[in-house]
Amino acid sequence: MDKLHFLNKNDGSNELIYNQEKKKLLQLLSTIDEKILNDAELKIIDNEKNQRSTFESFSELEIIYYYIHRKRHVKKGKGISEDTKKKYVGELLYFYHLIKQEKVMFQEDVAEYEDNVWRNLRKRHIRSLQEWLSNQNFAMATLARKLNILKSFLKWLYENDYIKETLHAEFLSTALDQEDVPDRELTYDEVMELLNYYQHHVLNHALLSLLATTGLRIAEVANAKWQDIEYDEQRQQYYLKVRVKGDKWRDTPIAPHIFQRVVAYRERRGLSVELGDEQGGNVFVTRNYKPYSANYMSQYVTIIMEETGLPFTKKKRYTPHFFRHFYASYLYNKKGVQVDDIQEALLHVDRRTTLRYLEKDLKREKDLKLTIGVEEF
């Protein structure tokens, strides 16, 4: 596990080099390496044989790596997605670097100081960290995500005897109030404005059309394979089989005219349009014929929406996830689909998530029932 090393920042370090090293570390910790995992398992076995704590000899970075990539399911390959792993690593490294930069303070404050950021943390530090973060310019939803990821990690460290204090018990509630929930409303008219604007741009037209009419997450679109699209003759419908959040699979219906927009893009790029072609690669690829990363595609969608200059795009920053909310709202308001069926379509584990997507629609529908008609009085 000697790959997991990092050049720590000091007063004489070059900022550019430091940032480059952070990116390398993010990539290293996010990428599964069977040799690193096998070495970790051997260390665990050795610790257990010698009646030591399971992760006693794991460094502060090795423990992050094992936490992220450890087996979670008896079936090989089943677990959290690579994109989710990268997000978790990014958040944990955010705290790692934050704590690392306060080395002098920890040396003075912790009597049993160790050269390990996680083992030097005390309950007072968690309270101070939350106070400091709450004064930063984070949206409440972002702050909640960061703290929940750190809390889960520290709880796992405690349960596995890597740290001695119940640091996770010091975290305050991060439950979101209604005003803290990001407004991700995108109306039908706004979606149509976007599609009309890009009707002669085959990539943008196909990409935005697929997002708006399937409810797929951007990572699911970025990772979608051409060979996983099939045609159902009986229903006259295309279906895209995608691996979705929670390591589940979803057969996503694609309307024939939306499929033709994707075909138009692939033909323009010189890609195969033969269904079932195992050499067809990803549905969407770059000009260099490489798959889009989810992060790059997400940024791309945000940029092309801003570049339209349409009035509504100037009011807030739009991301691909707005289309997922639009899809839920459209199904409910225009197609009359029931909440439970929308939950199933979006593969929400918790019905409350679907209800949060539809909260404004449900409230307006309730308000309409409470409105007194002019003919009544």
Give the CATH number of the domain where residue 239 resides. Answer: 1.10.443.10
161: left (phi over 0), alpha (psi -120 to 50) or beta: left
What whole-number distance in Å separates Cα of residue 119 and Cα of residue 370? 57
> Do residue 203 and residue 246 come from a single domain?
yes
- 170 domain residue, yes or no: yes
> In a 3-state reduction of DSSP, which class is residue 40?
helix
pLDDT at 177: 66
> Do residue 23 and residue 169 come from a single domain?
yes
pLDDT at 339: 92
Six-digit token pair at 241?
A: 């089989």
What whole-number distance in Å separates Cα of residue 206 and Cα of residue 232? 21
Q: How confident is the model at residue 183 (pLDDT cuts 50, 70, 90)?
A: low
> In a 3-state reduction of DSSP, which class is residue 251?
strand
Is 238 in contact with 256 (CB distance < 8 Å)?
yes
> Do residue 142 and residue 216 come from a single domain?
no
> Do residue 310 and residue 197 come from a single domain?
yes
Task: Enter the pTM of the model.
Answer: 0.70
Q: How confident is the model at residue 205 (pLDDT cuts 50, 70, 90)?
A: very high
What whole-number distance in Å separates Cα of residue 215 and Cα of residue 228? 17
Q: Could you report the per-residue pLDDT of 19-63, keeping only the tens digit for each?
A: 667 788 888 888 888 888 999 999 999 999 999 999 998 999 999
What whole-number distance in Å separates Cα of residue 191 and Cα of residue 17? 42
> Do residue 286 and residue 236 come from a single domain?
yes
> Do residue 203 and residue 128 come from a single domain?
no
Of 276, 293, 323, the domain-final residue: 323
What whole-number distance in Å separates Cα of residue 208 and Cα of residue 232? 23
Is 226 in contact with 271 (CB distance < 8 Å)?
yes
pLDDT at 77: 66
Percent of the chain at pLDDT above 70?
90
The DSSP H or E segment spanning 249 is strand 248-254
Nearest of 23, 92, 38 to residue 61 by alpha carbon: 92
> Do residue 97 and residue 128 come from a single domain?
yes
Q: How confident is the model at residue 246 (pLDDT cuts 50, 70, 90)?
A: low
Instruction: Return the number of other C-beta atoms located less than 10 Å from residue 259's C-beta.
Output: 21
Please tell me the total count of domains within the chain. 2
> Do residue 36 and residue 117 come from a single domain?
yes
- 253 domain residue, yes or no: yes
What whole-number distance in Å separates Cα of residue 275 and Cα of residue 240? 11
Which residue is listed with tokens 């912790």?
A: 110
Of 150, 180, 210, the domain-final residue: 180
Is 250 in contact with 301 (CB distance < 8 Å)?
no
Distances (CA, A) of 163 to 52, 54, 146, 205, 255: 14, 12, 20, 51, 53
pLDDT at 363: 86
> Do residue 52 and residue 172 come from a single domain?
yes
Backbone angles phi, psi at 102, to 5 degrees: -105, 30
Of 180, 208, 240, the domain-final residue: 180
> Do residue 242 and residue 170 come from a single domain?
no
Residue 63 belongs to what domain range?
A: 15-180
Average pLDDT over every residue of 187-204: 96
Note the Cα 259 to chain centre separation in Å: 26
| Cα-Cα-Cα-Cα dihedral sign, residues 316, 347, 202, 196 | negative
> Do residue 240 and residue 104 come from a single domain?
no
